[in-house]
Amino acid sequence: MADQAHTIHPVPEAFATGAHVDAARYAEMYQASIDDPDGFWGEQGKRLDWIKPYTKVQNTTFEFGKVDIRWYEDGVLNVAANCIDRHLATRAEQTAIIFEPDNPEDPAQHITYRELHEKVCRFANVLLAQGVMRGDRVVIYMPMIPEAAYAMLACARIGAIHSVVFAGFSPDALANRINDCGAKVVITADTAPRGGRKTALKSNADAALLHCSDKVRCLVVKHTGDQTTWIEGRDVDVKAQMASVAPDCPARPMNAEDPLFILYTSGSTGRPKGVVHSSGGYLVFAAMTHQYTFDYHDGDVFWCSADVGWVTGHSYIVYGPLANGATTLMFEGVPTYPDAGRFWAICDKHKVNQFYTAPTAIRALMGQGPEWVDKYDLSTLKLLGTVGEPINPEAWVWYDEHVGRGRCPIVDTWWQTETGGHMITPLPGAIPTKPGSATKPFFGVQPVILDPTDGHELTETATEGVLAIKDSWPGQMRTVWGDHERFQKTYFEQYKGYYFSGDGCRRDADGDYWITGRVDDVINVSGHRMGTAEVESALVAHAKVAEAAVVGYPHPVKGQGIYAYVTLMNGIDPSDSLKSELEGWVRTEIGPIAKPDLIQWAPGLPKTRSGKIMRRILRKIAENDYGALGDTSTLADPSVVDELIENRMNRG
């Protein structure tokens, strides 16, 4: 493992030649972005069409108590017009969205920019007819279908603020979000097929709305045509309405700082926060990162496999790609339906050029064996990306060999709901990669590593601590919806003058950044600080281990002990001898200090709906303090937790 992580993968020469940014250009542009942010971002802002051009660029302060973030503050634009209308002159007949349905037997759809324009205008007129006005909140609870993108863009067109809630969430979680943002309208669909099974979205929305104001309207997209209950006067048939309203709708001029959307964080670390993003700065940053990180060129087919319910779907399925006039793919289903080759079948079928997914998906597919990927023609792929968690080197190398076939640079992109777009990532034509490292900062981003004990900046190149950002960037969140104080307290209080990411980080001698996991996930064993991610990485490098989660627990001698939850590969039986084998394995991979004190076999791990392990729950169980688990509303499968409590190893 150690060897894999230290192998440097140079930029393929052919790639660098055709890339937007090579090594020299990266260095030059990065320097310019730091030396003269106003000049740099003033220039980048021109990638959008402004109704009234901005005269000011950056006006931001991170001073605790006065935190205020504004970019392009006197500019006026419309986000939907930037994603659609301005492309009509040159690419009206180009495909904007490729829709691949859950069932591979159903036909894919190709929606051109001209069609997108009409659909979004009609959808916007339906919203207007329901009395939705500028600044009103609209909750979108939809499957991964084109109508989800139409709904988002329709809101943007009329200046309403959308809040997309992932369709896997329960009625309770949906109700909380509707109420937190005070939505006037909920947009949903009748039912949502996913992996061959259907989720009853409309009836979930019905259940949620029992806990909301009776003024909230429910707009229903009849997607499958399945029967649902219908409340006259409250429920609206979107497709029927779309057919009867006008096919055009003017794009409302909006201020750059008007909120575009609210998105609740995934809740890995606590109660979800309603992250607010702006119109102008957000779109500049989403478009720019999409173009450079993925080295997107005109005519490429771009596929981000995230759900639109996550920020990744916002920035890299909808806003970034469409602002760039790209062809973006939307997939309704799951990676393992009808079989574990589905992702690669889609890449083959639609001749995908850039593919972006999460380490959790790569690990799951890796566990199914390489034959599922090896049989497809993946020759159109030029670049691969990952996001969401640190990627363990084995998964990186598998992705590189089996999916990229050794030809495609891999961009490991570190960013957050809060950052709007990529913050630390290789630019594929410029920066050599190392499996597991997010490498270098994007333009305008100044990462710093702070000493967690006193907050001072660690300036040596090779160092380790907590990751913070020194100055603002246009895609930064502006506030927590309705709670600016929580915004300041969460991100600006602990380390004064910086944006605090909550993540731990190491910088190596080459200046490359390695995210080590959440700061809460750093443990101290006999005086040695270590990221739990490192131990997890060692465990999953073992051939019999499918997944692992590691947390600390109070230990009478060491301060903290290492508690590992281990999921074995399909068909492998747990045994005491396997436990000793794993202990020995970690000992040789990392060192005696990292040997787990307790190993619990875990048939499943508690994950958020976006596939992230909720370590705070595992920590409670490991501490034998499972009475108060905190907010578990975003868990994908709550039953996993009971099983783990029942078989916990620490009963002291």
Residues belonging to the binding site are 194-197, 312, 388-390, 412-417, 503, 518, 526, 529, 540, 542, 545, 587
Q: Answer whether 82's CB lies under 8 Å from 283's CB.
A: yes
Q: Does 385 participate in binding ligand ATP (rule CB under 6 A)?
A: no
- Beta pairing partners, 270: none
Q: Taking contact as CB under 6 A, which single stretch among the options 278-286, 301-309, 472-480, 500-508 is the one that binds ligand ATP?
A: 500-508
Minimum CB distance to ligand ATP, residue 224 (Å): 29
Minimum CB distance to ligand ATP, residue 518 (Å): 6
Q: Taking contact as CB under 6 A, which single stretch among the options 67-75, 120-128, 218-226, 260-268 is the one that binds ligand ATP?
A: 260-268
In the complex with ligand ATP, which residue's Cβ is closer, 259 or 309? 309
Structure tokens, 194 = 């996913």
Q: Does 515 participate in binding ligand ATP (rule CB under 6 A)?
A: yes
Out of 268, 327, 532, 600, the only residue in the binding site for ligand ATP (CB under 6 A) is: 268
Minimum CB distance to ligand ATP, residue 415 (Å): 6
Q: Does 629 participate in binding ligand ATP (rule CB under 6 A)?
A: no
In the complex with ligand ATP, which residue's Cβ is closer, 251 or 640? 640
Out of 266, 439, 476, 479, the only residue in the binding site for ligand ATP (CB under 6 A) is: 266
Give every CB contact of residue 556 below 8 A, 6+ residues apart in sequence: none
Q: Taking contact as CB under 6 A, which single stretch among the options 72-80, 212-220, 267-275, 619-627 is the one that binds ligand ATP?
A: 267-275
In the complex with ligand ATP, which residue's Cβ is closer, 9 or 297? 9
In the complex with ligand ATP, which residue's Cβ is closer, 187 or 410? 410
Dihedral angle computed from the Cα positions of residues 603, 609, 610 and 611, in that order, rounded to the nearest 10 degrees: 0
Helices 37-44 and 280-293, packing angle to 10 deg? 80
Out of 60, 176, 269, 479, the only residue in the binding site for ligand ATP (CB under 6 A) is: 269
Out of 503, 512, 520, 536, the only residue in the binding site for ligand ATP (CB under 6 A) is: 503
Residue for token pair 């990744």: 312
Q: Answer whether 565's CB lies under 8 Å from 596's CB.
A: no
Give every CB contact of residue 610 below 8 A, 6+ residues apart in sequence: 166, 266, 306, 307, 309, 310, 358, 388
Q: Answer whether 109's CB lies under 8 Å from 98's CB.
A: yes
In the complex with ligand ATP, which residue's Cβ is closer, 342 or 612? 612
Residues 418-457 that bind ligand ATP (CB under 6 A): 438
Out of 125, 265, 328, 357, the only residue in the binding site for ligand ATP (CB under 6 A) is: 265
530, HSE (Cβ side, Cα atoms, 13 Å): 25
In whole angstroms, what is the distance from residue 280 CA to residue 259 CA? 9
End-to-end CA distance of the chain: 34
503 alpha-carbon distance from chain centroid: 15
Q: Answer whether 309's CB lies under 8 Å from 167's CB.
A: yes
Q: Does 611 participate in binding ligand ATP (rule CB under 6 A)?
A: no
In the complex with ligand ATP, which residue's Cβ is closer, 346 or 533? 533
Residue for token pair 């003033």: 42
Q: Taking contact as CB under 6 A, which single stretch among the options 52-60, 206-214, 250-258, 495-503 is the one that binds ligand ATP?
A: 495-503
List, as residue ranges, the binding site for Mg(2+). Answer: 540, 542, 545
Q: Answer whether 92's CB lies under 8 Å from 141's CB.
A: no
**By CB neighbour count within 10 A (0-12 exposed, 13-18 middle, 19+ buried), where does 349 fall?**
middle
DSSP secondary structure letter of residue 46: G
205 alpha-carbon distance from chain centroid: 24
Q: Can you tell me whether residue 505 is helix, strand or coil?
A: strand
Q: Does 521 participate in binding ligand ATP (rule CB under 6 A)?
A: no
Minimum CB distance to ligand ATP, residue 478 (Å): 15
In the complex with ligand ATP, which residue's Cβ is closer, 60 or 266? 266
Q: Taking contact as CB under 6 A, which single stretch among the options 120-128, 187-195, 265-273, 635-643 is the one that binds ligand ATP?
A: 265-273
In the complex with ligand ATP, which residue's Cβ is closer, 145 or 311? 311
By CB under 6 A, the count of residues binding ligand ATP is: 23
Q: Answer whether 231's CB lies under 8 Å from 202's CB.
A: no
Please state the φ and ψ torsions of residue 124, each to the nearest 5 degrees.
-60, -40
Q: Does 390 participate in binding ligand ATP (rule CB under 6 A)?
A: yes
Tell me the chain's radius of gyration from C-alpha atoms: 24
Minimum CB distance to ligand ATP, residue 253 (Å): 31
The secondary structure element, H or E, covering residue 619 is: helix 615-622
The amino acid occupying position 509 is: A
Please state the φ and ψ torsions of residue 617, each to the nearest 5 degrees.
-70, -40
Structure tokens, 315 = 């920035």
In the complex with ligand ATP, which residue's Cβ is closer, 223 or 422? 422
Q: Does 277 participate in binding ligand ATP (rule CB under 6 A)?
A: no
Out of 300, 307, 389, 512, the only residue in the binding site for ligand ATP (CB under 6 A) is: 389
Q: Answer whether 285's CB lies under 8 Å from 313's CB.
A: no
Give the angle 172-174-180 at the CA atoms, nearest 5°: 100
In whole angstroms, what is the distance from residue 562 CA to residue 178 CA? 40
Structure tokens, 327 = 């062809």
In the complex with ligand ATP, which residue's Cβ is closer, 70 or 518? 518
Count Cβ atoms below 10 Å from residue 465 Cβ, excluding itself. 23
Out of 75, 159, 259, 272, the only residue in the binding site for ligand ATP (CB under 6 A) is: 272
Structure tokens, 452 = 């967690």
Out of 289, 413, 488, 600, the only residue in the binding site for ligand ATP (CB under 6 A) is: 413
Minimum CB distance to ligand ATP, residue 266 (Å): 4
Minimum CB distance to ligand ATP, residue 356 (Å): 11
In whole angstroms, what is the distance from residue 443 CA to residue 291 CA? 12
Q: Does 147 participate in binding ligand ATP (rule CB under 6 A)?
A: no
Give the angle 247-139-197 at the CA atoms, nearest 5°: 95
Q: Taking contact as CB under 6 A, which single stretch among the options 55-63, 266-274, 328-336, 644-652 is the one that binds ligand ATP?
A: 266-274
Q: Taking contact as CB under 6 A, which single stretch among the options 184-192, 268-276, 394-402, 598-606 is the one that binds ligand ATP?
A: 268-276
Residues 201-230 that bind ligand ATP (CB under 6 A): none
Out of 267, 404, 428, 447, the only residue in the binding site for ligand ATP (CB under 6 A) is: 267
List, as residue ranges, the binding site for ATP. Answer: 388-390, 412-417, 503, 518, 529
In the complex with ligand ATP, which residue's Cβ is closer, 95 or 419? 419
Strands of 358-494, DSSP E:
383-387, 410-413, 447-450, 463-469, 479-480
In the complex with ligand ATP, which residue's Cβ is closer, 80 or 276? 276
Residues forming contacts to ligand ATP in the complex (CB under 6 A) are 265-269, 272, 387-390, 412-417, 438, 501-503, 515, 518, 612
